[in-house]
Structure 1
Amino acid sequence: MYIPTLDDMLAARERIEPHIHRTPILTSRLLNELSGAELFFKCENLQKAGAFKARGASNAVFGLSEEQARRGVATHSSGNHGTCLSYAASRRRVPCTVVMPRTAPQAKKDAVRGYGARVVECEPSTTSREAVFAEVVAETGAEFVHPYNDHRVIAGQATCSAEMIEQVEALSAVVAPIGGGGMISGTCLTLSNLAPGIQIFAAEPVQADDACRSFRAGHIIADDAPNTVADGLKVPLKDLTWHFVRNHVTDIQTASEQEIVSAMRLIWKNLKIVMEPSSAVALATILKHPDVFAGRRVGVIITGGNVDLDTLPWN
């Protein structure tokens, strides 16, 4: 298992610079008052392809050799990684296949196809996803770009927090959602090297809390098919992301479905931005644990904005 280093993050930053946005930081007086903290929202919902995963996907695709690129790339994804990999593949003009759960939001399936990638559907479980994907790789010979358990992907995601600490001074904590752990791992990679005094908190739905239970138990506990409105956070930790979680995360906190949807509404209303339920989990846990964050300068990563407007959770 190769553990990505700070040099990998720095190389990724240079490699992907032409293909991503340096996303803005937004603040809200009302959200500061509600939380008792100074919150700085890193808006990866405004990233290329609508999610932070454009960073890791671009780093992986543009790091391929010419021979690898000719065979194309493939992945399994509930949505955002598939969209972002298809975006990066379209930029390099290489074939891309994405295995997606049949229950994934239609907007995310449409986005993948919109970048010219092929969608192959599977049942909404980790077991089905991996089995169908194995068939795709056997058929195409494509390079597997894992949604999160890939050193190239983690190095790319690490560029987000590198930007954030340049944009906001004196942060004492950063909070980001956790599913498989790609963003959290990238955050750990950067902050442990460049700003080790910043605490890293992961935020997870109660109904998909395998990372939290893993953190408490000291080993990976994987759920096969959790059910939550935060559809991007249903996947389990893997060995590489577990390394970063185990060694660098301060705590993993959880929020209920109602708390996630309430936080999503607050962000839509007060920051005037479109973001998806998975992104709202971070604010939900901050509001749930004011004693942890009160009086602190806190970076909050809004991970994506690819929401299906026809199925908003408050409808």
Structure 2
Amino acid sequence: MSRMMRQQTRRGVLPSPQEIMQTLEKSVNEGNAYGALQLYKTYSARYASAEKYNDALEILQAGAILQLQHSEVTSGAELATLFVEILIKGKFLFSEETLDRIRKIYQAFPKLSMPHHLTDQDDDDMERLSEALVAAKTRVEVCSSFLKSALRWSAEYGSSKSGCPELHYMLAEYIYSESPELDMAKVTVHFVRGNNPEKFASSLANFMGKCYPGEDDLAIARAVLMYLSQGDLRDANKLVGELRKQLEVKQQTLPKSDLITFVVYLLETLERDALPLFRMLRQKYKSSIDRERLFDELLDDVAEKFYGVRRQAAFPSMFGDIFKDMNPHPRCRMKIWPANIWSWTKVFILPML
């Protein structure tokens, strides 16, 4: 800390944010990242106490990005999370300007590939791998913590009830690209809440080439059903269409399974006011649906969104706060199907049986 800053602090006068940032940037560049971290926290807290929230945000944003650029991930994430806490304390409404500031902090989080060409015969290689796994897990945890806090702020102060879609996408993208132990179900929740089904399709196509046998169709069905459980038929169709395109480039196709057949028929059924057919499909493909307990829960949500079938009170959606209070999505508008149900069913459902 400079002599002038110390004198101002003793007199109870806060130095300018620019002076603080310049001094602390020098400290970080000289290798004293931890000492700078404490001062970033101290000065931002003093500005916040004086209700100079914009100055506190400026200091924390600069500090978070600088620390992250110097690979001080834990310190950078701590300042990033404090940035969001100041947004909440200052009751900042959601805005594109603030979202852009969060985006810039997120973009500073390092994305590092795992070491390649390692062998289990080399102790040094195994030590490097172990260290890389620990570091990757830490990056995912602290970045996730920051983005989840940003999501809570965005939900409370003016985005959608489930939080800003772009923040969901950032979280899904970082977990997918950086996690050493990928939980595709967790990633899917945030991709579905995000705003980029095309990128989600790319991630699914990539996952299909790496997953264990039998997980590929589960991942696709889970994604489609999660979209549909929100009433989002448009993005569910967009996901499948984009996935087909990307697999075609690789000279591949969707997995051949009863579960995928069910999903394809379900998408066509939901284009129509066809509750009897929806129920027939669930019964016909029950054994495939039962491969994952979540699917029945999601299909109950789909029945409620598209056909007004209320869930039994004793069996609330397992998504809880993630998917509750969602009004029918404008993308789930249904077409009218023929009044003569039997004639339409003969055309569409009998060939499946």
TM-score (norm 2): 0.27
Q: Which structure carries more strand by proportion?
A: 1
Q: Which has the larger radius of gyration?
A: 2
Larger relative contact order (CA 8 Å, sep ≥ 6)? 1
Bigger fraction of residues in helix: 2
